[in-house]
Amino acid sequence: MSEDFNTHPHKRYNILTGEWILVSPHRTKRPWQGRLEKVAEEKRPSYDADCFLCPGNKRASGDTNPDYVEPYTFRNDFSALLPGGPQEDFEDGLLKASSETGLCRVVCFSPDHSLTLPVMETEDVIKVIQKWKEEYADLGSREDINHVMIFENKGDMMGCSNPHPHGQIWAQLSVPVEVQKKTEHQKKYWERNKRSLLGDYLEQELKLEERIVIKNEHFVALVPYWAIWPYETMIIPRRQMQHIGQLTAEEEKAYAEILKQLTIKYDNLFQTSFPYSSGIHQQPTNNSDYPEWHFHMSFYPPLLRSKTVKKFMVGYELFAGPQRDITAEQAAETLRELPEKHYTQE
């Protein structure tokens, strides 16, 4: 790339969605007198008697958690989707609506209230991945479920309502819009080339080495060329797999290792428990074949300059399109150079 792209405004194309983003690297020089975020208390006990997710505690619904010692899943007490509702469509001129059904589950990563993924042992992260696989297989096998979305909102800044280490799974009748877009663009590429779009993209990134953050035998973590969030990353398996259910035991371990290493680097960036939303995109579960799909995990962290200054998606982003303030190459270099040992363990 020309050096001008690292210093001047330009647009970049997202091959998975077909959308363009505006990159404005010179904007990081502007003074900041805006909002400063409060940093949540980072030292937490291993058990909190007031936590709805700790083992043995009563939840808001009145149900009591078992004394679990490994990742534990339960139906979300305040589910956004509900099963078995009426199925109907509505259309009146330009007004349209359609019923939506599904299931929402909570996955507690650990019984230890004080932990997050970067400070968990690799063996325990493997158990989280195995729980994701189990839930994907169970939910995806249901006739009334056509897509399974596995995600984590980490930190107050990302709207997390409970600090206990956990994620969520939303499984629904319809296929979400983002997944539809990614299916369309991967399918077009597959039909033209009979190869994985992300597989070819990954091959090019590995040759360039400009946006690679971490890599191992089975996975690569990089800052996508088209990244929107300041320190956005994506974990891509080297072997094309349509979904996490296809992971071998060896790949589960490699996935856990790179997931832990990446989140350690995030925490080390501003020496804080780094907030983010992460999600696993994989093929729909509607019994169709998706040879074009290449599963991947994306991280969208809001922090921009420090642990108290975040990127706001407002104004131009809301009314015109996404915009970022540092280039993907600058973000990747910063993350790549960070220590691999968690800052609290130095």
Active-site pick, 166, 281, 294, 296: 166
Which three-class secondary structure string do you get for the chain? CCHHHHCCCEEEECCCCCCEEEECHHHHHCCCCCCCCCCCCCCCCCCCCCCCCCCCCECCCCCECCCCCCCEEEECCCCCCCCCCCCCEEEECCEEEECCCEEEEEEECCCCCCCCHHHCCHHHHHHHHHHHHHHHHHHHCCCCCCEEEEEEEECHHHCCCCCCCEEEEEEECCCCHHHHHHHHHHHHHHHHHCCCHHHHHHHHHHHHCCCEEEECCCEEEECCCCCCCCCCEEEEECCCCCCHHHCCHHHHHHHHHHHHHHHHHHHHHHCCCCCEEEEEECCCCCCCCCCCCCCEEEEECCEEEECCEECCCCCHHHHCCCEECCCHHHHHHHHHCCCCCCHHHC
How many residues are recorded in the chain?
A: 346
Query: Residues 303, 306, 312, 316: is their CA dihedral positive or negative?
Result: negative
Clarify whether 166 is annotated catalytic.
Answer: yes
Query: What residues are labeled active site?
Result: 166
